[in-house]
């Protein structure tokens, strides 16, 4: 009997380990999508953009695999307390990563159109923003895999700088539109690209919140102040 129960425990630990690996793999794929979509945009590389679009299905499949795996764990293992919270968190996080994948794919689609339009300046901000959200995404996934609440709290606080870069890009693009109507198509798509990266940053923050709750069993103290002021932005036509 002792042997058998040890075997069951070991196999349960292995299943939780497998779940962590699946999440880490899914997160790694999403990070790459986020980085490649930004690279394709900045370098006007439509082939890379097409690759990003094509790879999204892999992330979608991993979400389904993780959900099925978690439902089976819940049904067969009937986990309690920390393990239960971890499995719920894994499902929520894989759902968020799937959304992140969709945003990256949408950026890649727009990169294809933007590559055929007159080139605008100010792309370095996009690379900067993509890098910031990619780092936050990586740290929040690592925090889940390592069950590290302190790291999760750090990511949660870091999103404010993403919002700052986004607000700057938003205003710059409106100015481009005002200056020359030939910029409108490219600038409009770039507005959505910037918004997508801002949303990816939001999701990374949400992942961090989920991880913190799953480890500590309690939420973060207050709502993070929302730094995106662009819904209130007004641009004036050039004088």
Q: Is 195 helix (H, G, I), strand (E, B) or coil?
A: helix
Strand boundaries in the chain, DSSP class E: none
C-beta closer to a copy of itself: residue 221 or 238? 238
Closest Cα partner for 121 from 172, 48, 191, 182?
A: 172
Binding residue (CB under 8 A) for a copy of itself from 181, 218, 221, 225: 181
Binding residue (CB under 8 A) for a copy of itself from 106, 136, 140, 205: 106
C-beta closer to a copy of itself: residue 135 or 137? 137
C-beta closer to a copy of itself: residue 20 or 77? 77
Both tokens assigned to 125: 């901000």
Binding residue (CB under 8 A) for a copy of itself from 71, 82, 119, 157: 71
Rounded CA separation 143/151 (Å): 6
Binding residue (CB under 8 A) for a copy of itself from 46, 117, 161, 167: 117
By CB under 8 A, is residue 5 in contact with a copy of itself? no
By CB under 8 A, is residue 205 in contact with a copy of itself? no
Binding residue (CB under 8 A) for a copy of itself from 12, 178, 220, 227: 178
C-beta closer to a copy of itself: residue 3 or 231? 231
Closest Cα partner for 19 from 135, 154, 137, 147?
A: 147
**Cβ burial 135-160 (10 Å sphere, 16+ → b, else e):** ebbbbbbbbbbebbbebbbebbebbe
User: Which residues, in sequence order, are CB contacts of 90 under 8 Å at separation 6+?
Assistant: 19, 23, 66, 70, 144
List of residues contacting a copy of itself (CB under 8 A)? 64, 67, 71, 74-75, 78, 80-81, 84-85, 88, 91-92, 95, 106, 109-110, 112-113, 116-117, 174, 177-178, 181-182, 184-185, 188-189, 191-192, 195, 219, 231-238
């Amino acid at each position: 009997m002792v042997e058998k129960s040890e075997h069951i425990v070991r196999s349960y630990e292995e299943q939780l380990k497998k779940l962590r690996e699946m999440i880490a793999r899914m997160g790694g794929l999403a990070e790459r999508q986020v980085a490649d979509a930004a690279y394709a945009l900045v370098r006007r590389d439509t082939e890379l953009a097409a690759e990003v679009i094509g790879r999204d299905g892999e992330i979608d499949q991993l979400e389904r695999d993780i959900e099925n795996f978690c439902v089976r764990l819940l049904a067969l293992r009937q986990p309690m307390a920390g393990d239960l919270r971890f499995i719920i968190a894994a499902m929520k996080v894989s759902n968020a990563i799937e959304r992140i994948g969709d945003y990256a794919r949408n950026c890649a689609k727009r990169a294809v159109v933007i590559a055929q339009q007159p080139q605008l300046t100010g792309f370095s901000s996009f690379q900067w923003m993509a890098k910031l959200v990619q780092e936050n995404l990586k740290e929040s996934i690592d925090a889940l895999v390592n069950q590290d609440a302190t790291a999760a709290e750090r990511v949660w606080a870091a999103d404010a700088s993403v919002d700052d870069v986004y607000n700057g890009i938003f205003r710059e693009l409106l100015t481009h539109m005002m200056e020359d109507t030939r910029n409108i198509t490219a600038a409009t798509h770039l507005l959505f690209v910037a918004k997508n990266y801002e949303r990816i940053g939001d999701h990374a923050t949400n992942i961090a919140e989920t991880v913190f709750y799953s480890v500590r069993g309690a939420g973060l103290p207050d709502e993070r102040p929302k730094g995106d002021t662009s819904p209130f932005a007004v641009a004036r036509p050039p004088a």
